[in-house]
Amino acid sequence: MIYTQIQREGIAANLLTQLEMTAKSNGFTEIDTEASITAKPFFESKGYQVNQKQNKSVKEVNSPNFVMKKTL
C-alpha cells in the first residue's frame, strides 16, 4: 500500500530502477512480478508486459492479478 501523501513522487520508480540495474549486473536477463490491478499501469509504464491474468484469493476475497515480465 502506498500512502496518498507520497504517491507520484518517483519513489517506486527509483526503487524499481535500482532493482533492475542490480539484477542486470548480476546476470539476470528478465524480471517477473505479480501486479495487482492498481499496480499494473505502473509496471506497464516501466516496460513490463502481461503474460497471464489470474485471480488471487485472500481471506476468501478474489482479486484480479497479473503475472508480468520485463526483459532486461
CATH of the domain at 64: 3.40.630.30
Q: Summarize the confidence of residues 5-34 as an average pLDDT.
A: 90
State residue 4's pLDDT score: 63
Q: Summarize the confidence of residues 35-61 as an average pLDDT.
A: 94
pTM: 0.82
Banded model confidence at residue 68, pLDDT cuts 50, 70, 90: very high
How many C-alpha atoms does 24 have within 13 Å on its Cβ side? 9
Q: Summarize the confidence of residues 27-40 as an average pLDDT.
A: 96
Domain extent, residue 21, equals 4-71
Q: How many domains does the chain have?
A: 1
How many C-alpha atoms does 61 have within 13 Å on its Cβ side? 3
Query: What percent of the chain clears pLDDT 70, i.e. is strictly above it?
Result: 88
